[in-house]
Amino acid sequence: MALNTINPTETVAWKKLQQHYSAMKKASMKEMFQADDSRTEKFNLKWNDFLIDYSKNIINQETLELLLELAKETGLKNAIADYFDGGIINQTENRAVLHTALRAKESTVINVEGQNVVPEIYEVKNKIKAFTNEVTLGQRTGFTGKLFTDIVNIGIGGSDLGPAMAVEALQFYKNHLNVHFVSNVDGDHVNEIIKKLNPETTLFVIVSKTFTTQETLTNSETIRKWFLQSAKQEDVAKHFVAVSTNIAKVTEFGINPDNVFPMWDWVGGRFSLWSAVGLSISLAVGFENYDELLSGANEMDEHFKTTDFDKNAPVILALLSVWYNNFFGAESEALIPYTQYLQKLAPYLQQGTMESNGKSVGRDGKPVNYQTGTIIWGEPGTNSQHAFFQLIHQGTKLIPTDFIGFVKPLYGDEDHHDKLMSNFFAQTEALLHGKTEEQVQAEFDKQGLGADKAALLLPFKVFAGNKPTNTILIQKLTPKTLGSLIALYEHKIFVQGIIWNIFSYDQWGVELGKQLANSILEEIHTEKVKNHDSSTTFLLNHFLSNK
Ligand code: F6P
């Protein structure tokens, strides 16, 4: 079934939300908290090991009801069914979108073109399991018989960001293998990595859904050349494996077909860590932990699929984001995990969110007349507090922020964790309350500051507050809770795409730059600059005459 094409701004709910926004735009969260003792009770969700408090948002019951009405009117329910059932919801590429199938239980039946894909998925999962065990237990060795000590994931975009983020996030659960990631076509990147490696003990995992990506093929060739300085051609088979849909191209590269882990065109690159793209995660933390990651995502899938929208975590987070994006005109959202382990979560979700929902044409083929994709950014707390929080607290922009924290630290260091989490709670409280003139004045009085100096300083020390935040408090960072957390944001992206009436699963916008880069590369080689605008010609000539 094709997705419907409803312009959200033409729905009844949207019009009501516009009116409602006029009443809410100046609403004070502080006053709403004072007026209603049960506000937090109303606006929080408890699910598995997650507590999501969304009471610190500029909303009331009516806001929520209208946003839920919008979800209903834009056909979210049917769209969710289509998404999970393998409907062709990536219409511009004529594909289903089934990363959820990759973490489905073995007994599930999910048909693509009349064929149940779950048995194939489990076949590949079993191959990942066997391979992981052989490498980690030392049953598979390098060309001189030495054990593997290092793994290099060669890929870019979705073939890099997901595994890199998850390996970093699950460092605590890691085994003896060192895992490296080479992504950029910048030769300095790959050379910095290979200089640390011993070809005899390094396994290379080339990850490319299409196996045509310039960066990945260039890096793979550079690495193969480097490898062949110490090994023979036939040793390539022992040290290089690949993950791809393009088996012909992979074999052409010289990889043994037995060492190819297939994936499918119904897995989008940015949602592919659940497929064999996650091989380096499995190698880093062991198959059992990798499988736990998948099962955490599957539990979130079930929650999303079966829970009423008013208690549905991805739906609520998506609707709140629509509220700020489309009514308050917020341009970006920050994502602040209070754990160093999740330092790559924001870059990872930048691809998920911005490649998916950075679209300006509606599903009806017409330009949209409203804002779509949010800009996502962030860094772990408390580091980010000492970097950009000033702007969130006192700048001119509204930046709705998700705070992600954990009740338990992994090494059990209570002293550090209590300090970390005090900051976590303090920030959302400060963003809510701000600091009034009276409070600032009272501080000055206490310090005995003279009236003149106090009057001068006062405006700079006042915080307006009323800055919206969601608090996602999770029991502990485990493979399972990480899986659920990623799936939570994946489904948020989906819900927003449905409401905004866009196709979230293609990425035509990245193609033009790739095409132009290829034609410029030819010119760089021939040293002849052809028909460009004067700025590009000027820059290219400067580069060519100085290189
Ligand atoms: O640049 C866009 C993109 O197509 C991403 O969507 C994808 O994750 C990445 O390139 C890498 O593609 P591939 O896995 O085919 O090498």
- Please tell me the residue having the least CA distance from ligand 1 atom 3: 157
CB of 208 shorter than 6 A to ligand 1: yes
Two structure tokens written together for 51? 């507590």
* Separation between Cα atoms, residue 258 and residue 22, nearest integer Å: 62
* Separation between Cα atoms, residue 197 and residue 200, nearest integer Å: 9
* Separation between Cα atoms, residue 122 and residue 106, nearest integer Å: 7
Residue 2, pLDDT score:
83
Distance from the alpha carbon of residue 202 to the mean position of ligand 1, in angstroms? 25
CB of 501 shorter than 6 A to ligand 1: no
The answer to whether residue 490 is catalytic is no
Kindly give the residue spans of alpha helices, DSSP state H, lying in 334-450.
345-350, 356-357, 389-394, 414-433, 437-447
Residue 470, pLDDT score:
98
Residues near 397 by beta carbon (within 8 Å), at least 6 away in sequence: 330, 331, 332, 391
Distance from the alpha carbon of residue 81 to the mean position of ligand 1, in angstroms? 27
Q: Are 243 and 125 in contact (CB under 8 A)?
A: no
Q: Ligand 1, from 510, 512, 514, 515: best to mutate by most atoms within 8 Å of Cβ?
A: 510
Distance from the alpha carbon of residue 506 to the mean position of ligand 1, in angstroms? 11
Q: Which residues pair with 243 in a beta bridge?
A: 207, 261
CB of 269 shorter than 6 A to ligand 1: yes
Q: Are 163 and 277 in contact (CB under 8 A)?
A: yes
Distance from the alpha carbon of residue 194 to the mean position of ligand 1, in angstroms? 23
CB of 213 shorter than 6 A to ligand 1: yes
Residue 70, pLDDT score:
98
Distance from the alpha carbon of residue 365 to the mean position of ligand 1, in angstroms? 24
CB of 183 shorter than 6 A to ligand 1: no
Q: Which residue has the tokens 């949602």?
A: 271
Count of beta carbons in the 10 Å neighbourhood of residue 488: 22
CB of 219 shorter than 6 A to ligand 1: no
From 355, 359, 417, 480, the catalytic residue:
355
pTM of the shown model: 0.97
* Separation between Cα atoms, residue 98 and residue 184, nearest integer Å: 28
Torsions phi, psi for 206 (to 5 deg): -90, 120
How deeply is 464 buried, as exposed, middle or buried, from its count of CB atoms within 10 A (0-12, 13-18, 19+)?
A: exposed
ipTM of this predicted structure: 0.97
The answer to whether residue 355 is catalytic is yes
Please state the atom number of ligand 1 nearest to the C-alpha of residue 215: 16
The answer to whether residue 386 is catalytic is yes
CA dist 177 → 12, 132, 285, 322 (Å)? 56, 11, 9, 42
Distance from the alpha carbon of residue 238 to the mean position of ligand 1, in angstroms? 26
Residues near 270 by beta carbon (within 8 Å), at least 6 away in sequence: 157, 158, 161, 162, 351, 352, 355, 356
Q: Ligand 1, from 205, 207, 209, 350: best to mutate by most atoms within 8 Å of Cβ?
A: 209
From 196, 514, 528, 542, the catalytic residue:
514
Distance from the alpha carbon of residue 295 to the mean position of ligand 1, in angstroms? 25
List the one residue out of 189, 59, 196 whose CA is nearest residue 470. 59
List the one residue out of 468, 489, 162 whose CA is nearest residue 353. 489
CA dist 246 → 234, 237, 239, 273 (Å)? 22, 17, 19, 17
Reported as type and span, the H/E element at residue 244 is strand 240-244
* Separation between Cα atoms, residue 319 and residue 14, nearest integer Å: 12
* Separation between Cα atoms, residue 88 and residue 397, nearest integer Å: 38
Residue ranges of the chain whose pLDDT lies below 50: none
